[in-house]
A and B are shown apart, each in its own frame.
Chain A
């Protein structure tokens, strides 16, 4: 079962801008090509920070909750 508070990424909308990782480096790291890898547990533990990361995305590719 997915965590209702999880930070989820719509990978089709993500262009690897990387703002999210700047805002929330403790829950989002970037892979070798600059695309975000989300630590779901860290995101669930800090929902406010997760929301901030989602707001930082210029493509609205991130969202909190399902």
Chain B
């Protein structure tokens, strides 16, 4: 069973709200009064993992919350921070009931008593769709746990799970160091399950007896724009991306904190084979005409600007990396720059309270490898022949 009936071409995270599936049309994935143990067993057997990018086994998270005594909170995380991701917004706007079913199933299995849909403040379309769905369910007498919508600031790190727990406990929506998992002790010290909204949609497929992991929602960014597609795991990546527009020399898999790969290395792979690389299902195709060094410099700057500015190595390290990359992209590269970037990266690695800096280092490191041949063209008295005046999603054009 698929999540979407047809492909979803989307335009900057806005799906027409009149296309929201109503409760009446909802293709009944609702579990009919299965007992909690059976529910946990089904999820465990299905092998379902998280779809926010970390691939953590869902059943294990649930077991942790159960062991901590239950009576906790389930958070449906719809704060989709990656500018090149739109699958969560699409899901919330097209099939909010599937997500709410999953949230309630998670609550039922773990004895949780409160549900929260966590969104960015600017996600007005998603909010409207979820609000309507909640009203519909109440009117139809669906027995749900109480669910509230809570909004966080429109920042990159507002979707980070420790930041969500901190915000819901009354603090700022910024990441925090945690020694105990949120599933044991999270919001106000209660067991807290933070699940990506797609994970919850798939929970509801699994509870209804379907294989929850047969497809993969991907947000594909090409020169023609962004599309959310539901791919089969045995689909080949090349044709999927090509069909959406244009050529590619490389792809950034997994978003701004992801990994650059040469197009020829991944085009013949299946979606299932590159699933881990895509993290939250993000594929950004870089056309041959565009300079990967220039794009990378912009993304490093974006990630440096997105730092929560709490941890020194992230704050100072990403700023320095962005500064060096901006100089390189501007055609003033020095022979020692790669070594310098690597040295700063080694200093920063693993030293943030969250994984934000590590994602930036991963992306930059892979760029230095994939675009190595383009580096000499950025030295003085040399000229890069590719385009530098490109708009990266979420980043102002240079």
Q: Which A residues have a C-beta under 8 Å from some C-beta of B?
A: 10-12, 14-16, 31-35, 37, 66
Contact = CB atoms under 8 A, between A and B. Distances in A.
> A-B pairs with the 8 shortest C-beta distances?
A11-B311, A35-B312, A12-B310, A33-B316, A10-B177, A12-B353, A11-B353, A16-B312
Interface string B330-365: 000000000000000001000111000000000000
14 contacts: A10-B177, A10-B353, A11-B311, A11-B314, A11-B352, A12-B174, A12-B177, A12-B308, A12-B311, A32-B316, A32-B347, A33-B313, A35-B351, A66-B179
Contacts of A31: 312-313, 347
B249 interface: no
A11 B312 contact: yes
Interface residues of B, number: 17
Interface in B146-181: 174-177, 179
A43 B103 CA distance: 44
A11 B176 contact: no
Q: Describe A's contact surface by its main secondary structure.
A: loop
A35 B310 CA distance: 12
A11 B351 contact: yes
Contacts of B179: 66
B234 to A, nearest CB: 38
A34 B312 contact: yes
Nearest to A30: B312
Interface in B89-104: none
A32 B340 CA distance: 13
B347 A12 contact: no
B78 to A, nearest CB: 25
B347 A11 contact: no
B313 A12 contact: no
A12 B312 CA distance: 8
Nearest to B312: A35
A31 to B, nearest CB: 5
B247 to A, nearest CB: 41
B177 A11 contact: yes
Nearest to B317: A33
Interface in B294-314: 308, 310-314
